[in-house]
Structure 1
Amino acid sequence: MSTLTQRSSGLVQRRTEASRSAAAADRERGSGDEDYEPRRGEEPEDDDSGDSKETRLTLMEEVLLLGLKDREGYTSFWNDCISSGLRGCMLIELALRGRLQLEACGMRRKSLLARKVICKSDAPTGDVLLDEALKHIKDTQPPETVQSWIELLSGETWNPLKLHYQLRNVRERLAKNLVEKGVLTTEKQNFLLFDMTTHPLTNNNIKQRLIKKVQESVLEKWVNDPHRMDKRLLALIFLAHSSDVLENAFAPLLDDQYDLAMKRVRQLLDLEPEGESMKNNANELLWAVVAAFTK
């Protein structure tokens, strides 16, 4: 699959007090509590505790925000990776919210990419896109693998009987979510032969906090151990890279900071998902998505 290839491009930006307080809260309730299910609108995000809940973003929204051009309000026309990357975000988001897990590996241990995705809970998440993906996964028998779900939800299948699994207009729907949260606005742009709806940035503070959080995770706050990192932040780094938008977060860095950030990102990319998934406190589905994009 053309979009599931490993990229050598980058990602990163600094971390805020918001991310520190969120990480501390995660440790208090147990950062490995994959069954933690936030209430509607209550996601364990890295925002400041004083922020309104509307400014807390899902993984999909964070990846899209990193990929959006601030003034133009759309993603690069040359980016053919973000579509599948956003589907990977959905799977990990559902896993972190305790809705999905991988099937048991059994006596003969299967590889991550051979194991099926199982619905652990069908409780609504409060997010329409996540609930739509969850319903597809719950209703599908026999179950599919992580890589199959990324392809099916992206519409990248040759089987016409499975085209109904495709989630349509995902970027536009995520952008509208960000408009509702006060991060973006909506405009019409004329491109000679057609008009296109765009979503320029209106709240730069939220994007700058996101960029800073990514940068600091591989610079000042680097811990040299993925299992000591917040799972959501770790997933963001992998998925931003797989969606080819990490470079946007690293662009403002000085040359020596950029080189160090990219060196540490490559350390993460060189990890073996199979081995990492067997360590204590690991989220197997997260590492299965990583395996699907870096195999």
Structure 2
Amino acid sequence: MSTGLVKRRLANSAAESTKKNKSDDEKSDEERMSDTGDKSMRLTLMEEVLLMGLKDREGYTSFWNDCISSGLRGCILVELALRGRIQLDKQQARRRKLLDRKVRCKNDAPTGDVILDEALTHIKKGETEESVQGWIDLLSGETWNPLKLQYQLRNVRERLAKNLVEKGVLTTSKQNFILFDMTTHPVVNDDMKSRLLKRVQDAVLTKWPNDIDKMDRRTLALIYLAHSSDVLENAFQPLSDEDYDTAMRRVRFLLDLNPEEQGQRSANNELLWAVVGVYMK
């Protein structure tokens, strides 16, 4: 074997090792969104949760679901954290609980997503110092302070649906409800939604890890956020009775974890566990 060939192989091996060992902060948004291993899946957490909640043919979420609005704001914060844009402020000598720590802008580079960039702009302004709970309330407009209504993100579901239409997952239609007409967004890419649901199913069935730290971070976040948005059940409806019971038992295991303890174990996931703590309390 020639010396030149050996050098090339060694260089390629080093490059692969460097790529595998990249920290989350060094990854591009493209690489972070590919952590699931499915490179065709280019949906944000907000889009995935909305897609799980939409009725396929009707093209709208359940009228009885009053959780999804708040849940989508949690998705925004976790997505920004996964992309390395925001974090909780550093611990001081006196340790504080996750829910008591403020959210800080870590990197104000645009994400390319309008909703994420709008939320990031609010957070990086520095005009208000809020915890995760505070930002979820502000972004959803649930605040008693009229001076802070400027932080509300409006028409989030409609804007996410429009994004999914542009990505070829949904289409736009009109449905008459006797007293009014409503714009709906039926699913046209059944394959995309099926793969999304299967990823959630596999995470708590065939790919269930013995150690939660080994679970893909985006998928773990999706399970918690889908539950908080009251759409997780939709992923398990097609399962057999036996698989359904197994899936729900493992989801219950996740829900019984202590977010504070999990956040202390994994500094990279602190904001995710803070969001989970808000919804679980």
Displacement of 1:105? 1.5
2:24 counterpart residue number:
34
1:46 counterpart residue number:
36
Query: Bigger relative contact order, structure 1 or 2, given CA contacts below 8 A and separation 6+?
Result: 1
1:4 counterpart residue number:
none
Equivalent residues in 2 for 1:87-166, closer than 5 Å: 87-166=73-152
| CA gap 1:238/1:293 in 2 versus in 1, 3 angstroms | same
In the alignment, the residues of structure 2 paired with residue 288 and residue 39 of structure 1 have an alpha-carbon distance, to the nearest angstrom, of 22
Aligned residues: 265
| CA gap 1:42/1:257 in 2 versus in 1, 3 angstroms | closer
| CA gap 1:37/1:59 in 2 versus in 1, 3 angstroms | same
Displacement of 1:202? 0.2
Moved more, 276-285 or 82-91: 276-285
Deviations, residues 136-173 of structure 1 (Å, cap 9, x unaligned): 00003342100000011001111111111110000000
Displacement of 1:41? 9.7
1:291 aligns with 2:277: yes
Moved more, 218-227 or 199-208: 218-227
Uncovered stretches (5+) of structure 2, i.e. residues with no partner: 1-15
| Misfit runs of 4+, over 2 Å | 27-31, 36-49
1:207 aligns with 2:207: no
**Contact 1:34–1:283 under 8 Å retained in 2:** no
RMSD, matched Cα:
1.9
Q: Which protein shows a greater Rg?
A: 2
In the alignment, the residues of structure 1 paired with residue 172 and residue 116 of structure 2 have an alpha-carbon distance, to the nearest angstrom, of 23
Displacement of 1:274? 1.0
Deviations, residues 61-120 of structure 1 (Å, cap 9, x unaligned): 000000000000000010000001000000010001010000012111000000000000
As a proportion of its length, which structure holds more helix? 2
| CA gap 1:46/1:224 in 2 versus in 1, 3 angstroms | same
Aligned-residue sequence identity (percent) comes to 67
- Matched residue type, 1:186: T
**Contact 1:184–1:200 under 8 Å retained in 2:** yes
In the alignment, the residues of structure 2 paired with residue 236 and residue 85 of structure 1 have an alpha-carbon distance, to the nearest angstrom, of 11
